[in-house]
Amino acid sequence: MKMYILIKDDIPEGFAILAAAHAALATYLKYKEDTDMQTWISSTFYKVVCKVNDKEFQKAKEFENHVVLTESALDHKEVAIAFKPREEWPKPFKFYKLYR
């Protein structure tokens, strides 16, 4: 079980780090009563952070159980999207590039 956090590839590194931290917390707060979230938080706590282009980001918004983050210092631009932890992921998640 893992949480995916997708960061837009045009976000400066410093903001990307903040977005990833905020995304994990925002997703936990939104789904903290969910059984999958409770299982994840008390066991694996795995997170996968990926860098995606705008097209991938927009397409990812079609998948359920997510939180979209914006950054006020970037004129409230959407910077990240995080998904509630789960066991099985849609096929596109296998192809997102890890954030390095």
Q: What is the pLDDT along the chain (100 residues), one digit of tens a residue?
A: 999 999 999 999 999 999 999 999 999 999 999 999 999 999 999 999 999 999 999 999 999 999 999 999 999 999 999 999 999 999 999 999 999 9
Q: Where are the domains of the chain?
A: 2-98
Second CATH level (architecture) for the domain 2-98: 3-Layer(aba) Sandwich (3.40)
Separation in Å, CA 9 to CA 13, 36, 49, 100: 9, 29, 12, 11
Which tokens go with 54?
A: 């705008």
Closest among 1, 4, 2 to 93, alpha carbons compared: 4
